[in-house]
Every structure is written in C-alpha cells, then in structure tokens.
Structure 1
Amino acid sequence: MTTKESYFEDVLENNASIIKANEGEKLELNTISITFKVTSEMSNDQLGIYEILLPPMAIGAKLHYHRFMDETFIVNEGLLTIQVADKEYQAEPGAVAYIPRFTPHGFRNDTNETVKLTLVFNPSQKREGFFKGLYETLNEAPIDPEKYLKLYNKYDSFPVDTSNMIPVRT
C-alpha cells in the first residue's frame, strides 16, 4: 500500500540551524577573517550569511557586480566605506546597505579600527566556494589576475575594471 500525498496538509519539520556567536567555518584571507554562518548547503542554495572582520585599511572587494544574486551589508562594528557606482558612503554600526544585482559596488575599511560586518547573499550561489578560492588565490605570490578573474566569473562576480580588480592598496 502506498501513502497518498496530501495536497491540503502541511508537513512540519525541524530543519532549523542555530549558529552561536563563535561558531561556523572560519577562513583567514591574509588579514581578513570570514566565518560561514548560513551556507548554501544549509539553505538549499537560497541564502548565504557570512561574518567578515575587515582589519584597518583592508579592501574587501573593488568595484564589481553580480548578475544573479543580491548582496546585503550589515555593519556591526566600525565604519565601512561602501562604493556604489561612482558614489561612496560611510556605513556606521547598524547601517544596512542592500545592493541588488547589476549594481556596481565595492567595500573597504579606511580606518585604523577593525570593521565587523555581516554579508548576506540571496541566492547564495555556493558562495563558500568563492571564499575558499579567494583564500587560495590571494595567498599566492604574485597573485595571478587571470586565475582571480576566472574565480570571480565562476561565482557570479564581474569586476567593473579588470585592470584594477585585485583587492590590495597600491
């Protein structure tokens, strides 16, 4: 005997994840720290939430855009500089910056204090692979621009200026 699917009853499940303050897979990209809080695997590729510690004078990303995902920045501590197209904004703790797809954006810390922020990607597009690829690429000396661009493009990131895309201050 087979069980008939009900079209009228909800099936409740407990698939919740509670990630505590110091939990999550952590990557150290040079001096930038990224902790995976909600991953693509956990959310069926619908949502990615990552905690970023951006040390003084560090660049998170130069001007780029996404075709298939939106990105939201939530500043928890410090002062984050967010570039959107040709304008720059200073985001203080509590600020939220929603960056829809096809919007050129970049972010950096221009201060002498660490910035702590939460990045949200929707959908997540397996963003953890991007961060792990960044870890590999940015730890090579010299950084290979072709490899960096290939990684960017694979994970729905497109630099506005490929001659100035590596996140280092010159």
Structure 2
Amino acid sequence: MNRIKENYFEDRLENNASVINPDEGEKLELNTISITFKVTSAMSGNQLGVYEISLPPMAIGAKLHYHRFMDETFIVNEGMLTIQVAGQEYKAPPGTVAYVPRFTPHGFKNDTNETVKLTLIFNPSQKREGFFRGLHETLSEVPVDPEKYLKLYNKYDSFPVDTSNMIPVRE
C-alpha cells in the first residue's frame, strides 16, 4: 500500500490573503441603510464576516436580538452609534469597539441627525451575506411580513427578544 508521508515539521505556505480597498466590496442598499461586504463567508471559509454599514439619521440597524452560534463586534468609524446591550444603552463615539458574544441581547441604531458609519464583524460568519440579501428583499416589501422576517432571522442565527417588536422601524 502506498502512503503519502505527512510532514509534521514544516508548514506549507500559501497566499490566500484578500486585500479589499475602501471602494471595493458588494454593496446592498436596504431602504436608506447601506451594507458593503468586505470579508465574506466564501473568502474566509465561513469563519469571519466583515461588513461596512452606513446608518442615516434616525435609522434602526436592528432591534434587540441575540445569536446562538456567533459573536458580533461593532467598530464605530463615524458618528455616534447607540448600542443596546441587554437592558442598557450606550452612546458609542468613533473609535468605540463593542464585542457582543453569543446569547447576549443587543441592538443598534442611529439616534442623531448625522450619518453613522460602522464596521460589523461576525465570527463565525454563518453565511451572513444571505441574511443581508434576504433582509433587503423582506424590508423592501410593504407592508413587511413579520412571519417572513422571523423566518429569515431564525435561519441566520438571529433571535428577536420580542417578536411583537422586531421590525427595525421607528413607531
């Protein structure tokens, strides 16, 4: 029997790096919110997702929800983001990093009259691009179908804390 001898002492180096410039990445427009895919699930073997988000004045990114299988990190680049974690709200200026591990209820919004720009990181990514594409479709429908919205949320490891108040719109 021929066996390939495995080398336990030397690393096999590869170049699988991706360098994404500021103006690069697939961009989705969700009503007035924009999302740009920077590092995708396909690029990272489903280990990491990095997305740039632009929230216009008074926009809600997501109401309180949690994830079972992934952690989420927020990095505020411009503006003042309001981050909700469990029962507390934090005003997050540029440079703020908020790490939200799985099973931690969280949400985010822009309570100001200026645009907020942030980077969202999901680890592992759980094919988050599918979630954002589905969100684009679901939130484009008038009225938004809560059952369809919840089905999308649950498929992509997102669970609203209050299903009667989960659609990201201001009342």
TM range (shorter): over 0.9
SS of the residue 2:143 aligns to: coil
1:135-158: CA deviations, max 9, x gaps?
000000110000000000000000
What code does the residue aligned with 1:10 have?
A: D
Match of 1:54 in 2: 55
Match of 2:7 in 1: 6
**Superposed, which structure 2 residues align to 1:3-152 within 5 Å?**
3-152=4-153
Alignment partners' CA distance in 1, 2:52 and 2:5: 44
What code does the residue aligned with 2:155 have?
A: K
SS of the residue 2:73 aligns to: strand
Q: How many residues align?
A: 170
What code does the residue aligned with 2:39 have?
A: V
| Matched-pair identity in % | 83
Alignment partners' CA distance in 1, 2:30 and 2:95: 25
SS of the residue 1:135 aligns to: helix
5-14 or 24-33, larger mean C-alpha shift? 5-14
Match of 2:164 in 1: 163
Match of 1:154 in 2: 155
Please provide the CA RMSD for this pair.
0.9
SS of the residue 1:41 aligns to: helix
What code does the residue aligned with 2:110 have?
A: N
Alignment partners' CA distance in 2, 1:111 and 1:2: 64
SS of the residue 2:151 aligns to: helix
Alignment partners' CA distance in 2, 1:105 and 1:39: 22
TM superposition shift of 1:9: 1.0
Question: TM-score scaled by structure 2?
Answer: 0.98
1:68-107: CA deviations, max 9, x gaps?
0000000000000000011000000000000000000000
Q: Which ranges of structure 1 fall in alignment gaps of 5 or more residues?
A: none
Alignment partners' CA distance in 1, 2:136 and 2:117: 19
Question: TM-score scaled by structure 1?
Answer: 0.98
SS of the residue 2:41 aligns to: coil
- Moved >6 Å (runs of 4+): none
Alignment partners' CA distance in 2, 1:4 and 1:140: 57
Alignment partners' CA distance in 1, 2:3 and 2:136: 50
Alignment partners' CA distance in 1, 2:26 and 2:4: 40
Q: Which ranges of structure 2 fall in alignment gaps of 5 or more residues?
A: none
Alignment partners' CA distance in 2, 1:85 and 1:4: 53
TM superposition shift of 1:2: 6.8
